[in-house]
Amino acid sequence: DMEGYNWIRMVVTKANGSNVSLNLDIHDISSGFADSWIFFGDSITAGGMVNAYGTSFANFVNQIDSRFFPAQENGGIGGTTSRDGKENIDKWLSTCPATYVSIAYGTNDCWGNPNNTQSYYENTKYMIDAVLKAGKIPVLPKIPFSTNKDVGSNTGYYNAMIDKLYDEYGDKLVHGPDFDAFFRENTWGLSNDGVHPNSEGYEAMRKFWAETMYETVYKNLPSSPDIPHSDTVKGDVNSDGLFNIADIVTAQQFLLGNGSLPCWQAGDLCEDDHFDAFDLALMRSLFIENELS
């Protein structure tokens, strides 16, 4: 008896005769899609944030807490720098449904170049602002340590720029994993070139991503986006008696430092007595849920 079940059908239109293995993640977005991630970055991201069967970021998050199984997308492109990210981030975000956006450039910026830190800082700052402007939550990990001296001798200068950005943005910017400290302590996870992780290192990266984001993000989320009923309309941060797209825009502008929130309490969906990007993500999810209902 399959009554009440949902069906997903996949049709293969062409094959060359070789063996093919296909893995699908199935996600219930009936209550919104706030738990969705994209990981932008270079070849280290491209190799590490694959949807590896059984050892993906989503799998590791789910192993920590079975309530969560995030949707994830790998946006890593080999050979790219922060300049490439800056030049393309607006285009990428225009078609990106993810709520959490990781910005993981820097290895190629600092490879043999200790004097490019200001450009890296400015490019990364631009990307963070673009993510916030799009109503999403930026995540910034540390640049991985490398035993290749052309990289490893320079990462400290660039990671100092990340610390500077952490200080500037405060709660608006999620601190990603500290891959500098991680690979200094776990050099076994690096391949022969001393820059890219080996297969075990990539798996360890995904697990470290999940552990760090669980402590930083998931533990701070309410058990559900619903909050107790009150006289205030949920999400009505502009205090006009309604919750609509105008509230989303007002909240986004506030987080960018423009204007104020007449009723920030209505947007405090995390119920932690302040309004930040996590509340905005839940507001967006609630708005979409209301539109679909």
Q: What is the CATH number of the domain that holds 280?
A: 1.10.1330.10
Final residue of a domain: which of 167, 201, 220? 220
Domain with 291, as residue range(s), is: 223-293
| Count of residues in the chain | 293
The count of structural domains within the chain is 2
Which neighbouring-strand residues pair with 71?
36
At 227 the pLDDT is: 35
- Residue 181 is assigned to a structural domain of this protein: yes
Which of 252, 41, 254 has the alpha carbon at shortest distance from 140? 41
High-pLDDT (> 90) share of the chain, %: 56
Q: Is the domain of 61 the same as that of 166?
A: yes
What is d(CA 12, CA 9) in angstroms, rounded to the nearest whole number?
10
Q: Is the domain of 292 the same as that of 238?
A: yes
What is d(CA 89, CA 99) in angstroms, rounded to the nearest whole number?
14
The set of residues, in sequence order, having a beta carbon less than 8 Å from that of 203 and lying 6+ positions away, is 52, 55
- Residue 9 is assigned to a structural domain of this protein: no
Q: Is the domain of 107 the same as that of 184?
A: yes
Q: Is the domain of 188 the same as that of 290?
A: no
- pTM for the complete prediction? 0.71
pLDDT in tens, 88-119: 999 999 988 899 999 999 999 999 999 999 99
H or E stretch covering 43: helix 43-48
Q: What are phi and psi of 100, to 5 degrees?
A: -105, 130
At 224 the pLDDT is: 45
What CATH number is given to the structural domain containing 159?
3.40.50.1110
* The token pair that represents 31 in the structure block: 């209550």
pLDDT in tens, 30-47: 555 568 999 999 999 999
Contact (CB, 8 A) for 89 and 126? yes
Residue stretches of the chain with pLDDT short of 50: 224-230
